Structure 1
Amino acid sequence: MAKQDGEKKTKQAAPTSASKVAVAAGPQSVTGIGIAALVVGIVAFLSGLLPIWGLIVAAAAIVLSIIALKKSAANKPFGIAGIILGAVAALTNLIVTAFWVIAIVATVATGGAAIQATKVATDVLSAQDAAAKAEMDAKKDFAKGETARFGTFDVKVNSVDTNYQSTDGYSQPDTGNKYVLVNVTVTNPGPDSVSVSDYDLQLSADGVSNTNAYLSVNSPFSGGTLAKGASLTGNLVYSVPTTASKLLLTYDTTVFTTKPYKLEKLTYTLAL
Protein backbone atom coordinates (compact mmCIF):
# COMPACT_ATOMS: atom_id res chain seq x y z
CA MET A 1 0.00 0.00 0.00
CA ALA A 2 2.85 2.38 0.85
CA LYS A 3 4.41 1.71 -2.53
CA GLN A 4 1.19 2.68 -4.34
CA ASP A 5 0.90 5.95 -2.41
CA GLY A 6 4.46 6.89 -3.41
CA GLU A 7 3.73 6.31 -7.06
CA LYS A 8 0.62 8.56 -6.91
CA LYS A 9 2.63 11.42 -5.34
CA THR A 10 5.30 11.06 -8.00
CA LYS A 11 2.70 11.26 -10.79
CA GLN A 12 1.08 14.36 -9.26
CA ALA A 13 4.41 16.22 -9.01
CA ALA A 14 5.56 15.62 -12.58
CA PRO A 15 4.38 18.15 -15.21
CA THR A 16 2.04 16.95 -17.90
CA SER A 17 2.75 17.19 -21.61
CA ALA A 18 -0.36 19.35 -22.02
CA SER A 19 1.04 22.19 -19.86
CA LYS A 20 1.33 25.52 -21.75
CA VAL A 21 4.64 27.37 -21.99
CA ALA A 22 4.61 31.21 -22.53
CA VAL A 23 6.66 32.34 -25.53
CA ALA A 24 7.73 36.02 -25.92
CA ALA A 25 6.60 37.63 -29.20
CA GLY A 26 9.40 38.94 -31.49
CA PRO A 27 9.59 42.60 -32.77
CA GLN A 28 7.25 43.52 -35.75
CA SER A 29 8.90 44.67 -38.99
CA VAL A 30 8.04 47.68 -41.18
CA THR A 31 5.80 46.69 -44.10
CA GLY A 32 6.10 47.89 -47.67
CA ILE A 33 2.89 49.90 -47.40
CA GLY A 34 4.42 51.98 -44.61
CA ILE A 35 7.36 52.94 -46.77
CA ALA A 36 5.00 53.58 -49.69
CA ALA A 37 2.90 55.89 -47.51
CA LEU A 38 5.97 57.93 -46.60
CA VAL A 39 7.18 58.12 -50.22
CA VAL A 40 3.75 59.17 -51.50
CA GLY A 41 3.55 61.75 -48.70
CA ILE A 42 6.86 63.25 -49.79
CA VAL A 43 5.71 63.31 -53.43
CA ALA A 44 2.44 64.95 -52.33
CA PHE A 45 4.35 67.61 -50.39
CA LEU A 46 6.52 68.37 -53.41
CA SER A 47 3.44 68.43 -55.67
CA GLY A 48 1.50 70.79 -53.44
CA LEU A 49 1.86 73.71 -55.86
CA LEU A 50 0.38 71.78 -58.77
CA PRO A 51 -3.38 72.41 -58.93
CA ILE A 52 -5.60 69.28 -58.78
CA TRP A 53 -2.71 66.80 -59.24
CA GLY A 54 -1.17 67.76 -55.91
CA LEU A 55 -4.54 67.31 -54.20
CA ILE A 56 -4.96 63.81 -55.66
CA VAL A 57 -1.48 62.71 -54.52
CA ALA A 58 -2.08 64.22 -51.06
CA ALA A 59 -5.31 62.23 -50.68
CA ALA A 60 -3.51 59.05 -51.74
CA ALA A 61 -0.75 59.70 -49.18
CA ILE A 62 -3.25 60.14 -46.36
CA VAL A 63 -5.16 56.95 -47.28
CA LEU A 64 -1.97 54.87 -47.55
CA SER A 65 -0.72 56.23 -44.23
CA ILE A 66 -3.92 55.23 -42.44
CA ILE A 67 -3.74 51.72 -43.93
CA ALA A 68 -0.06 51.45 -42.93
CA LEU A 69 -0.89 52.36 -39.32
CA LYS A 70 -3.51 49.62 -39.17
CA LYS A 71 -1.22 47.00 -40.72
CA SER A 72 1.65 47.18 -38.25
CA ALA A 73 2.72 49.20 -35.24
CA ALA A 74 6.18 49.41 -36.78
CA ASN A 75 4.67 51.56 -39.54
CA LYS A 76 3.69 54.28 -37.04
CA PRO A 77 6.55 56.73 -37.78
CA PHE A 78 6.06 56.34 -41.53
CA GLY A 79 2.26 56.56 -41.30
CA ILE A 80 2.27 59.68 -39.14
CA ALA A 81 4.85 61.34 -41.39
CA GLY A 82 2.77 60.42 -44.46
CA ILE A 83 -0.41 61.86 -42.92
CA ILE A 84 1.33 65.12 -41.95
CA LEU A 85 2.95 65.52 -45.37
CA GLY A 86 -0.32 64.67 -47.13
CA ALA A 87 -2.32 67.09 -44.99
CA VAL A 88 0.14 69.94 -45.57
CA ALA A 89 0.17 69.16 -49.30
CA ALA A 90 -3.65 69.08 -49.44
CA LEU A 91 -3.97 72.41 -47.63
CA THR A 92 -1.32 74.02 -49.83
CA ASN A 93 -2.96 72.66 -52.95
CA LEU A 94 -6.39 73.90 -51.93
CA ILE A 95 -4.98 77.41 -51.49
CA VAL A 96 -3.11 77.26 -54.81
CA THR A 97 -6.17 75.89 -56.61
CA ALA A 98 -8.32 78.68 -55.14
CA PHE A 99 -5.85 81.29 -56.42
CA TRP A 100 -5.85 79.64 -59.84
CA VAL A 101 -9.65 79.68 -59.98
CA ILE A 102 -9.71 83.34 -58.95
CA ALA A 103 -7.06 84.16 -61.56
CA ILE A 104 -8.94 82.31 -64.29
CA VAL A 105 -12.23 83.99 -63.40
CA ALA A 106 -10.52 87.39 -63.32
CA THR A 107 -8.87 86.72 -66.67
CA VAL A 108 -12.15 85.68 -68.23
CA ALA A 109 -13.89 88.73 -66.78
CA THR A 110 -11.10 91.04 -67.93
CA GLY A 111 -11.08 89.41 -71.34
CA GLY A 112 -14.83 89.92 -71.59
CA ALA A 113 -14.46 93.56 -70.60
CA ALA A 114 -11.67 94.01 -73.15
CA ILE A 115 -13.82 92.45 -75.86
CA GLN A 116 -16.71 94.70 -74.89
CA ALA A 117 -14.45 97.77 -74.86
CA THR A 118 -13.11 96.83 -78.30
CA LYS A 119 -16.64 96.42 -79.60
CA VAL A 120 -17.66 99.79 -78.19
CA ALA A 121 -14.60 101.46 -79.74
CA THR A 122 -15.32 99.76 -83.07
CA ASP A 123 -18.94 100.90 -82.96
CA VAL A 124 -17.88 104.46 -82.16
CA LEU A 125 -15.40 104.50 -85.06
CA SER A 126 -18.00 103.01 -87.39
CA ALA A 127 -20.50 105.68 -86.39
CA GLN A 128 -17.86 108.39 -86.84
CA ASP A 129 -16.97 107.01 -90.28
CA ALA A 130 -20.63 106.93 -91.27
CA ALA A 131 -21.13 110.54 -90.15
CA ALA A 132 -17.96 111.68 -91.96
CA LYS A 133 -18.97 109.84 -95.15
CA ALA A 134 -22.42 111.41 -95.01
CA GLU A 135 -20.84 114.85 -94.57
CA MET A 136 -18.49 114.24 -97.51
CA ASP A 137 -21.41 113.28 -99.73
CA ALA A 138 -23.77 116.02 -98.54
CA LYS A 139 -24.72 119.11 -100.51
CA LYS A 140 -22.09 121.86 -100.26
CA ASP A 141 -23.38 124.82 -102.28
CA PHE A 142 -26.65 126.56 -101.45
CA ALA A 143 -28.61 129.18 -103.35
CA LYS A 144 -29.67 132.58 -102.08
CA GLY A 145 -32.57 132.30 -99.63
CA GLU A 146 -31.94 128.65 -98.72
CA THR A 147 -31.26 127.42 -95.21
CA ALA A 148 -27.81 125.92 -95.61
CA ARG A 149 -26.58 122.87 -93.72
CA PHE A 150 -22.95 123.72 -92.94
CA GLY A 151 -21.77 120.35 -91.66
CA THR A 152 -23.26 120.07 -88.18
CA PHE A 153 -25.24 123.33 -88.05
CA ASP A 154 -27.78 125.23 -90.16
CA VAL A 155 -27.30 128.80 -91.38
CA LYS A 156 -30.02 131.14 -92.57
CA VAL A 157 -29.27 134.63 -93.91
CA ASN A 158 -32.00 137.00 -92.74
CA SER A 159 -30.74 140.17 -94.46
CA VAL A 160 -27.74 141.63 -96.30
CA ASP A 161 -26.59 145.26 -96.45
CA THR A 162 -23.93 145.51 -99.16
CA ASN A 163 -23.17 149.19 -98.40
CA TYR A 164 -23.18 149.27 -94.65
CA GLN A 165 -22.14 152.56 -93.04
CA SER A 166 -20.51 152.47 -89.63
CA THR A 167 -22.49 154.19 -86.89
CA ASP A 168 -19.54 154.81 -84.56
CA GLY A 169 -18.52 157.95 -86.51
CA TYR A 170 -14.89 156.99 -87.16
CA SER A 171 -14.65 153.45 -88.61
CA GLN A 172 -14.18 153.52 -92.38
CA PRO A 173 -13.29 150.73 -94.84
CA ASP A 174 -9.94 150.74 -96.61
CA THR A 175 -9.72 152.65 -99.89
CA GLY A 176 -11.44 150.66 -102.63
CA ASN A 177 -13.38 148.57 -100.10
CA LYS A 178 -16.83 148.67 -98.57
CA TYR A 179 -18.56 147.12 -95.59
CA VAL A 180 -21.10 144.32 -95.99
CA LEU A 181 -23.35 143.53 -93.03
CA VAL A 182 -24.95 140.08 -92.92
CA ASN A 183 -27.59 139.15 -90.35
CA VAL A 184 -27.61 135.38 -89.77
CA THR A 185 -29.32 132.78 -87.63
CA VAL A 186 -27.37 129.64 -86.75
CA THR A 187 -29.24 126.57 -85.45
CA ASN A 188 -28.09 123.22 -84.12
CA PRO A 189 -30.32 120.51 -85.67
CA GLY A 190 -28.43 117.53 -84.22
CA PRO A 191 -28.56 115.67 -80.89
CA ASP A 192 -25.07 116.74 -79.78
CA SER A 193 -23.93 120.22 -78.79
CA VAL A 194 -22.21 122.30 -81.48
CA SER A 195 -19.74 125.16 -81.07
CA VAL A 196 -19.84 128.00 -83.62
CA SER A 197 -17.82 131.22 -83.63
CA ASP A 198 -17.98 134.35 -85.78
CA TYR A 199 -14.63 133.33 -87.32
CA ASP A 200 -16.18 130.12 -88.68
CA LEU A 201 -18.29 132.13 -91.13
CA GLN A 202 -16.30 133.94 -93.82
CA LEU A 203 -17.36 135.99 -96.82
CA SER A 204 -16.05 135.11 -100.27
CA ALA A 205 -15.98 138.09 -102.63
CA ASP A 206 -15.40 136.93 -106.21
CA GLY A 207 -13.49 133.89 -104.88
CA VAL A 208 -11.40 135.70 -102.25
CA SER A 209 -12.26 134.89 -98.64
CA ASN A 210 -12.52 137.65 -96.07
CA THR A 211 -12.82 137.30 -92.31
CA ASN A 212 -14.90 139.53 -90.08
CA ALA A 213 -14.05 143.22 -89.94
CA TYR A 214 -13.22 144.58 -86.50
CA LEU A 215 -16.19 146.89 -86.35
CA SER A 216 -18.60 147.73 -83.57
CA VAL A 217 -22.20 146.92 -84.55
CA ASN A 218 -25.49 146.42 -82.82
CA SER A 219 -26.39 142.78 -82.00
CA PRO A 220 -23.11 141.24 -83.15
CA PHE A 221 -22.94 137.52 -83.82
CA SER A 222 -20.42 136.32 -81.24
CA GLY A 223 -21.05 132.59 -81.48
CA GLY A 224 -21.17 130.03 -78.69
CA THR A 225 -22.04 126.44 -77.89
CA LEU A 226 -25.50 125.41 -79.04
CA ALA A 227 -27.49 122.59 -77.49
CA LYS A 228 -29.91 120.54 -79.56
CA GLY A 229 -32.41 122.85 -81.28
CA ALA A 230 -30.78 126.05 -79.94
CA SER A 231 -30.24 129.08 -82.20
CA LEU A 232 -28.14 132.26 -82.27
CA THR A 233 -28.92 135.36 -84.32
CA GLY A 234 -26.59 138.30 -84.90
CA ASN A 235 -24.79 140.61 -87.32
CA LEU A 236 -21.51 139.92 -89.11
CA VAL A 237 -19.55 142.68 -90.88
CA TYR A 238 -17.00 142.13 -93.66
CA SER A 239 -14.79 144.46 -95.68
CA VAL A 240 -14.76 143.59 -99.40
CA PRO A 241 -13.73 145.32 -102.64
CA THR A 242 -16.33 147.76 -103.94
CA THR A 243 -16.21 145.96 -107.29
CA ALA A 244 -17.13 142.57 -105.81
CA SER A 245 -20.16 141.10 -107.51
CA LYS A 246 -20.38 137.49 -106.28
CA LEU A 247 -20.73 137.23 -102.53
CA LEU A 248 -20.83 133.86 -100.75
CA LEU A 249 -21.02 133.09 -97.05
CA THR A 250 -18.56 130.21 -96.55
CA TYR A 251 -17.57 127.64 -93.94
CA ASP A 252 -14.49 125.38 -94.04
CA THR A 253 -14.06 122.17 -92.08
CA THR A 254 -12.05 118.94 -92.24
CA VAL A 255 -13.41 115.41 -91.79
CA PHE A 256 -11.81 111.98 -91.98
CA THR A 257 -12.72 108.31 -92.12
CA THR A 258 -10.70 105.44 -90.62
CA LYS A 259 -11.77 102.60 -92.93
CA PRO A 260 -10.42 103.45 -95.38
CA TYR A 261 -8.39 106.31 -93.96
CA LYS A 262 -9.31 109.47 -95.80
CA LEU A 263 -8.81 113.12 -94.84
CA GLU A 264 -10.83 115.69 -96.73
CA LYS A 265 -11.31 119.43 -96.49
CA LEU A 266 -14.90 120.54 -97.08
CA THR A 267 -16.10 124.01 -98.07
CA TYR A 268 -19.74 125.02 -97.78
CA THR A 269 -21.16 128.09 -99.50
CA LEU A 270 -24.38 130.09 -99.30
CA ALA A 271 -25.07 132.74 -101.94
CA LEU A 272 -26.03 136.24 -100.71
Structure 2
Amino acid sequence: RRSAGGLAPRWRALALLLPAALLATTHLWAREHTAAATDLFRRHGRAVSWLSSQGRGDVLLLNDAGLIALAHDGPMIDLIGLGTPGLTLAYRHGAGSIVESLARRPAPPTIAAVNPDLLRVPQLLGRPLVPAPAPGGTVVAEVRRELLQGTPLAGPGVDFAWLPDEERAQVRWMRAPEQRQASFALLLPGISGPPRLEGCRPILGGVGLEVPAGTRSIGLRAALLQEDRGALAVRSGGPDAAVEHAITLGRTAWTEARLPWPAGAQGSTVLWLTRQGSALPCLESVRFLPS
Protein backbone atom coordinates (compact mmCIF):
# COMPACT_ATOMS: atom_id res chain seq x y z
CA ARG A 1 0.00 0.00 0.00
CA ARG A 2 1.27 3.49 -0.86
CA SER A 3 1.59 5.94 1.99
CA ALA A 4 0.67 9.58 1.68
CA GLY A 5 4.29 10.42 0.90
CA GLY A 6 4.64 7.89 -1.96
CA LEU A 7 6.19 4.39 -1.56
CA ALA A 8 5.65 2.54 1.66
CA PRO A 9 8.78 2.46 3.88
CA ARG A 10 9.46 -1.21 3.21
CA TRP A 11 9.46 -0.67 -0.57
CA ARG A 12 11.72 2.34 -0.23
CA ALA A 13 14.16 0.15 1.70
CA LEU A 14 14.06 -2.55 -0.97
CA ALA A 15 14.66 0.05 -3.70
CA LEU A 16 17.90 1.01 -1.98
CA LEU A 17 19.20 -2.54 -1.65
CA LEU A 18 20.41 -2.96 -5.27
CA PRO A 19 22.46 0.27 -5.41
CA ALA A 20 23.86 -0.54 -1.98
CA ALA A 21 24.91 -4.03 -3.12
CA LEU A 22 26.56 -2.59 -6.24
CA LEU A 23 28.45 -0.03 -4.20
CA ALA A 24 29.57 -2.71 -1.77
CA THR A 25 31.07 -4.85 -4.57
CA THR A 26 32.55 -2.04 -6.69
CA HIS A 27 36.02 -2.53 -5.24
CA LEU A 28 35.85 -6.26 -6.08
CA TRP A 29 34.96 -5.59 -9.73
CA ALA A 30 37.64 -2.91 -9.93
CA ARG A 31 40.22 -5.35 -8.62
CA GLU A 32 39.17 -7.99 -11.16
CA HIS A 33 39.36 -5.52 -14.06
CA THR A 34 42.73 -4.25 -12.91
CA ALA A 35 44.09 -7.79 -12.73
CA ALA A 36 42.72 -8.60 -16.21
CA ALA A 37 44.23 -5.42 -17.70
CA THR A 38 47.58 -6.15 -16.05
CA ASP A 39 47.58 -9.70 -17.40
CA LEU A 40 46.63 -8.46 -20.89
CA PHE A 41 49.52 -6.00 -20.88
CA ARG A 42 51.93 -8.61 -19.52
CA ARG A 43 51.12 -11.06 -22.31
CA HIS A 44 50.73 -8.67 -25.25
CA GLY A 45 52.34 -5.35 -24.28
CA ARG A 46 55.76 -5.88 -25.89
CA ALA A 47 54.25 -7.19 -29.12
CA VAL A 48 51.77 -4.30 -29.33
CA SER A 49 54.54 -1.78 -28.72
CA TRP A 50 56.69 -3.30 -31.50
CA LEU A 51 53.82 -3.52 -34.00
CA SER A 52 52.79 0.08 -33.31
CA SER A 53 56.08 1.36 -34.67
CA GLN A 54 57.44 -1.35 -36.98
CA GLY A 55 56.37 -3.87 -39.58
CA ARG A 56 53.62 -1.69 -41.06
CA GLY A 57 54.36 -2.80 -44.60
CA ASP A 58 54.38 -6.49 -43.68
CA VAL A 59 51.52 -8.96 -44.01
CA LEU A 60 50.86 -10.00 -40.42
CA LEU A 61 49.82 -13.52 -39.41
CA LEU A 62 47.90 -13.57 -36.12
CA ASN A 63 45.62 -15.81 -34.09
CA ASP A 64 44.15 -13.09 -31.85
CA ALA A 65 41.99 -10.61 -33.75
CA GLY A 66 41.66 -8.28 -30.74
CA LEU A 67 44.36 -6.05 -29.34
CA ILE A 68 47.06 -7.31 -31.74
CA ALA A 69 44.92 -6.48 -34.77
CA LEU A 70 44.35 -2.93 -33.51
CA ALA A 71 48.09 -2.37 -33.11
CA HIS A 72 49.05 -3.30 -36.70
CA ASP A 73 48.44 -0.68 -39.37
CA GLY A 74 48.75 -2.99 -42.36
CA PRO A 75 47.40 -6.16 -44.05
CA MET A 76 46.61 -9.09 -41.78
CA ILE A 77 45.70 -12.78 -41.99
CA ASP A 78 43.73 -14.19 -39.06
CA LEU A 79 44.48 -17.92 -38.72
CA ILE A 80 41.26 -18.63 -36.83
CA GLY A 81 39.24 -16.88 -39.52
CA LEU A 82 37.44 -14.17 -37.51
CA GLY A 83 39.21 -11.45 -39.47
CA THR A 84 39.85 -13.61 -42.55
CA PRO A 85 36.63 -15.52 -43.34
CA GLY A 86 38.35 -17.55 -46.05
CA LEU A 87 40.37 -19.37 -43.38
CA THR A 88 37.47 -20.28 -41.08
CA LEU A 89 36.80 -23.68 -42.66
CA ALA A 90 40.50 -24.40 -43.18
CA TYR A 91 41.16 -23.80 -39.47
CA ARG A 92 38.47 -26.32 -38.56
CA HIS A 93 40.16 -28.90 -40.80
CA GLY A 94 43.52 -28.65 -39.03
CA ALA A 95 47.12 -27.69 -39.64
CA GLY A 96 47.36 -29.18 -43.12
CA SER A 97 44.43 -27.19 -44.47
CA ILE A 98 45.82 -24.03 -42.90
CA VAL A 99 49.16 -24.53 -44.68
CA GLU A 100 47.51 -25.25 -48.03
CA SER A 101 45.36 -22.12 -47.71
CA LEU A 102 48.23 -19.84 -46.68
CA ALA A 103 50.38 -21.07 -49.57
CA ARG A 104 47.71 -19.99 -52.06
CA ARG A 105 47.08 -16.50 -50.75
CA PRO A 106 48.06 -13.69 -53.15
CA ALA A 107 50.22 -12.13 -50.44
CA PRO A 108 51.51 -14.73 -47.93
CA PRO A 109 52.41 -13.53 -44.43
CA THR A 110 55.86 -12.13 -43.77
CA ILE A 111 55.71 -11.71 -39.98
CA ALA A 112 53.63 -13.37 -37.26
CA ALA A 113 52.31 -12.13 -33.93
CA VAL A 114 50.82 -15.21 -32.33
CA ASN A 115 50.28 -17.13 -29.14
CA PRO A 116 52.51 -20.20 -29.74
CA ASP A 117 50.23 -22.34 -27.58
CA LEU A 118 47.40 -21.82 -30.09
CA LEU A 119 49.50 -21.97 -33.26
CA ARG A 120 48.83 -25.16 -35.22
CA VAL A 121 51.76 -24.64 -37.60
CA PRO A 122 54.80 -23.77 -35.43
CA GLN A 123 57.12 -24.77 -38.30
CA LEU A 124 56.31 -21.43 -39.95
CA LEU A 125 57.93 -19.36 -37.20
CA GLY A 126 61.40 -18.13 -38.05
CA ARG A 127 63.74 -15.59 -36.45
CA PRO A 128 62.11 -14.07 -33.33
CA LEU A 129 61.62 -10.31 -33.35
CA VAL A 130 59.91 -10.03 -29.96
CA PRO A 131 60.10 -13.08 -27.66
CA ALA A 132 57.06 -14.09 -25.64
CA PRO A 133 57.31 -12.34 -22.25
CA ALA A 134 55.40 -15.07 -20.37
CA PRO A 135 53.57 -18.36 -20.95
CA GLY A 136 50.53 -17.66 -23.08
CA GLY A 137 52.07 -14.41 -24.32
CA THR A 138 52.43 -13.14 -27.87
CA VAL A 139 55.64 -13.73 -29.78
CA VAL A 140 56.52 -11.72 -32.89
CA ALA A 141 58.66 -13.57 -35.44
CA GLU A 142 59.49 -13.72 -39.10
CA VAL A 143 57.52 -16.21 -41.18
CA ARG A 144 59.47 -18.86 -43.09
CA ARG A 145 57.79 -18.14 -46.40
CA GLU A 146 60.21 -20.35 -48.28
CA LEU A 147 58.52 -23.38 -46.75
CA LEU A 148 55.29 -22.50 -48.60
CA GLN A 149 56.74 -21.81 -52.03
CA GLY A 150 56.32 -25.33 -53.41
CA THR A 151 53.30 -26.37 -51.37
CA PRO A 152 50.54 -26.06 -54.03
CA LEU A 153 50.35 -29.03 -56.36
CA ALA A 154 51.64 -28.28 -59.87
CA GLY A 155 49.40 -29.76 -62.57
CA PRO A 156 46.12 -31.69 -62.44
CA GLY A 157 45.40 -33.80 -59.40
CA VAL A 158 44.18 -33.66 -55.83
CA ASP A 159 46.20 -31.74 -53.26
CA PHE A 160 44.90 -33.26 -50.03
CA ALA A 161 43.93 -30.87 -47.23
CA TRP A 162 43.24 -28.23 -49.92
CA LEU A 163 39.46 -28.32 -49.63
CA PRO A 164 38.49 -27.18 -53.18
CA ASP A 165 40.56 -30.02 -54.68
CA GLU A 166 38.94 -32.63 -52.43
CA GLU A 167 35.46 -31.38 -53.30
CA ARG A 168 36.17 -31.31 -57.04
CA ALA A 169 37.47 -34.92 -57.00
CA GLN A 170 34.44 -36.10 -54.97
CA VAL A 171 36.69 -37.54 -52.28
CA ARG A 172 34.97 -40.18 -50.17
CA TRP A 173 36.29 -41.67 -46.94
CA MET A 174 36.15 -45.04 -45.25
CA ARG A 175 36.42 -43.81 -41.66
CA ALA A 176 36.90 -40.09 -42.18
CA PRO A 177 39.65 -38.23 -40.27
CA GLU A 178 38.47 -36.95 -36.90
CA GLN A 179 37.82 -33.22 -36.66
CA ARG A 180 40.43 -32.74 -33.96
CA GLN A 181 43.20 -34.11 -36.20
CA ALA A 182 41.58 -33.79 -39.61
CA SER A 183 44.83 -32.87 -41.37
CA PHE A 184 48.53 -32.56 -40.60
CA ALA A 185 51.34 -30.28 -41.75
CA LEU A 186 54.61 -32.18 -42.33
CA LEU A 187 58.02 -30.71 -43.10
CA LEU A 188 59.77 -33.52 -44.96
CA PRO A 189 62.22 -33.85 -47.87
CA GLY A 190 61.12 -35.38 -51.15
CA ILE A 191 63.05 -37.10 -53.91
CA SER A 192 64.72 -33.81 -54.85
CA GLY A 193 64.84 -30.27 -53.56
CA PRO A 194 64.70 -28.82 -50.03
CA PRO A 195 62.03 -29.80 -47.49
CA ARG A 196 58.70 -28.06 -47.90
CA LEU A 197 55.75 -27.75 -45.57
CA GLU A 198 52.88 -29.80 -46.98
CA GLY A 199 49.36 -30.54 -45.82
CA CYS A 200 48.21 -34.16 -45.76
CA ARG A 201 45.23 -36.25 -44.68
CA PRO A 202 45.55 -39.30 -42.41
CA ILE A 203 44.12 -42.49 -43.89
CA LEU A 204 42.42 -44.19 -40.98
CA GLY A 205 40.60 -46.65 -43.25
CA GLY A 206 40.62 -45.71 -46.92
CA VAL A 207 39.90 -42.96 -49.41
CA GLY A 208 38.36 -42.99 -52.88
CA LEU A 209 38.40 -40.31 -55.57
CA GLU A 210 37.30 -39.73 -59.13
CA VAL A 211 40.00 -39.99 -61.81
CA PRO A 212 39.36 -37.84 -64.91
CA ALA A 213 39.19 -39.27 -68.42
CA GLY A 214 42.46 -39.27 -70.32
CA THR A 215 44.58 -40.18 -67.29
CA ARG A 216 47.29 -42.73 -68.16
CA SER A 217 49.21 -42.86 -64.89
CA ILE A 218 48.81 -41.84 -61.26
CA GLY A 219 51.41 -40.10 -59.11
CA LEU A 220 51.12 -40.65 -55.34
CA ARG A 221 52.87 -38.79 -52.54
CA ALA A 222 52.53 -39.91 -48.91
CA ALA A 223 54.41 -40.50 -45.65
CA LEU A 224 53.79 -42.18 -42.32
CA LEU A 225 52.67 -40.41 -39.15
CA GLN A 226 53.42 -43.34 -36.87
CA GLU A 227 55.92 -46.21 -36.96
CA ASP A 228 58.83 -46.45 -39.37
CA ARG A 229 57.44 -48.75 -42.05
CA GLY A 230 53.98 -49.21 -43.51
CA ALA A 231 52.14 -49.58 -46.80
CA LEU A 232 49.34 -48.07 -48.83
CA ALA A 233 47.21 -50.42 -50.94
CA VAL A 234 46.06 -49.25 -54.38
CA ARG A 235 42.83 -50.49 -56.00
CA SER A 236 40.70 -49.44 -58.93
CA GLY A 237 36.95 -49.93 -59.10
CA GLY A 238 36.07 -50.17 -55.41
CA PRO A 239 37.36 -50.69 -51.86
CA ASP A 240 36.76 -54.44 -52.06
CA ALA A 241 38.58 -54.96 -55.36
CA ALA A 242 41.87 -56.85 -55.52
CA VAL A 243 44.98 -54.97 -54.43
CA GLU A 244 46.94 -53.99 -57.55
CA HIS A 245 49.86 -52.22 -55.90
CA ALA A 246 51.25 -51.88 -52.38
CA ILE A 247 53.37 -48.78 -51.86
CA THR A 248 55.88 -48.98 -49.00
CA LEU A 249 56.08 -45.74 -46.99
CA GLY A 250 58.53 -44.25 -44.49
CA ARG A 251 58.29 -41.57 -41.84
CA THR A 252 61.40 -39.43 -42.49
CA ALA A 253 60.71 -38.45 -46.14
CA TRP A 254 57.89 -38.30 -48.66
CA THR A 255 57.45 -41.46 -50.71
CA GLU A 256 56.61 -40.70 -54.35
CA ALA A 257 55.29 -43.42 -56.66
CA ARG A 258 54.03 -43.47 -60.25
CA LEU A 259 51.56 -46.19 -61.27
CA PRO A 260 49.78 -47.06 -64.55
CA TRP A 261 46.06 -46.25 -64.85
CA PRO A 262 43.67 -47.92 -65.19
CA ALA A 263 45.36 -50.76 -63.36
CA GLY A 264 42.80 -53.56 -63.08
CA ALA A 265 39.20 -52.51 -63.70
CA GLN A 266 39.31 -51.24 -67.27
CA GLY A 267 37.22 -48.12 -67.68
CA SER A 268 36.96 -47.52 -63.92
CA THR A 269 36.98 -43.89 -62.86
CA VAL A 270 37.50 -44.44 -59.11
CA LEU A 271 40.85 -44.85 -57.38
CA TRP A 272 40.87 -46.40 -53.90
CA LEU A 273 43.75 -46.14 -51.43
CA THR A 274 43.57 -48.11 -48.19
CA ARG A 275 45.77 -48.47 -45.14
CA GLN A 276 47.69 -51.70 -44.67
CA GLY A 277 48.81 -52.77 -41.21
CA SER A 278 49.00 -50.66 -38.07
CA ALA A 279 51.08 -47.78 -39.47
CA LEU A 280 49.15 -44.57 -40.18
CA PRO A 281 49.73 -43.09 -43.68
CA CYS A 282 49.22 -39.40 -44.44
CA LEU A 283 48.31 -38.73 -48.08
CA GLU A 284 49.74 -35.51 -49.50
CA SER A 285 48.65 -35.64 -53.16
CA VAL A 286 47.46 -37.70 -56.10
CA ARG A 287 48.49 -36.49 -59.54
CA PHE A 288 46.67 -37.28 -62.80
CA LEU A 289 49.23 -37.75 -65.58
CA PRO A 290 48.47 -37.99 -69.32
CA SER A 291 51.31 -40.42 -70.07
Give TM class, smaller chain: under 0.3
Q: Compare CA radii of gyration and give the structure with the larger one.
A: 1
TM-score (norm 1): 0.23
TM-score (norm 2): 0.22
